[in-house]
Homo-oligomer: A and B are copies of this chain.
Amino acid sequence: MEPTTPAAGTVAGPARRRRNPVTPGTGPQRWDGVDVHDYKTAGSAPFRGVTRQVLFERDELACQVRYFEVEPGGHSTLERHEHVHAVVVLNGHGSCLVGRDVVEIGPQDLVEVPPMTWHQFRAAADAPLGFLCVVNTDRDRPQLPTAADLAELRTDPMVAAFVRTSD
């Protein structure tokens, strides 16, 4: 048999990946053909109840589009890095720290994390927090706060009350 090659203009993969119906309490929102991963390697950094899905990633695109979902009461890692985050909330509710600002966030709110800015996302106690996060494909590794960084951050009572640094 001849090897089959797609005709000109034919889409190799599926053009559309459907959002799957969501059943509350059964884990994060899913899409057709998208795998759910651990947020980070357990023990590598403090976080609680976070999953990661890569929605778009290909050579021709200079960024990756990821979806993170934080369980009710959970939180991402408090960290900073040179690369920026462009965040669009999709589902649920929660709050985030960006620099010294602690703000509430809900569906379709936008959050921008500038370079070298401490940030952390928390889901509400009674709802998950699901958000898109666009990042450069080529990016630096996150930095965790030192004891001195934490002491400095905690001089602000609002920040001190917000941050979570261990499981």
| Interface residues in chain A, defined as those with a beta carbon under 8 Å from any beta carbon in chain B | 7, 9-13, 15-19, 29, 31, 34, 55-56, 58, 60-63, 65, 82-84, 86, 88, 90, 96, 98-101, 103, 105-115, 117-118, 132, 134, 136-138, 153
| A105 contact set on B, CB distance < 8 A | 16
How many subunits of this chain does the assembly comprise?
2
Interface residues of A: mostly helix, strand, loop or mixed?
loop
Contacts of A132 in B (CB 8 A): 88, 132
Determine the chain B residues whose CB is within 8 A of the CB of A111 once the complex forms. 15-17
CA distance A13 to B84 in the complex (A): 14
Would B109 and A16 count as touching, CB distance under 8 A? yes
Nearest chain-B residue to A16 (Cβ)? Answer: B103
In the bound complex, do residue B109 and residue A56 qualify as a contact, i.e. CB atoms below 8 Å apart?
no
Check if B31 sits within 8 Å of A110, measured CB to CB: yes
Q: Indicate if the CB atoms of A107 and B19 lie closer than 8 Å.
A: yes
Q: Can you report 15 residue pairs joining A to B where beta carbons are below 8 Å apart?
A: A9-B117, A9-B153, A10-B99, A12-B114, A15-B111, A16-B109, A17-B109, A19-B109, A19-B110, A34-B110, A55-B88, A56-B110, A60-B83, A60-B84, A65-B88
Among A15, A86, A107, max chain B CB count under 10 A is at A15
Structural contact, A61 and B84, CB atoms closer than 8 A:
yes
For residue A59, give the distance in angstroms from its CB to the closest CB of chain B.
9
Q: Min CB distance, A27 to chain B, in Å?
A: 16
> Which 4 pairs from chain A and chain B are nearest by CB?
A62-B62, A15-B98, A56-B86, A63-B63
Q: CA of A160 to CA of B132 in the docked complex: distance in angstroms?
A: 35
CB of A100 within 8 A of CB of B60, answer no
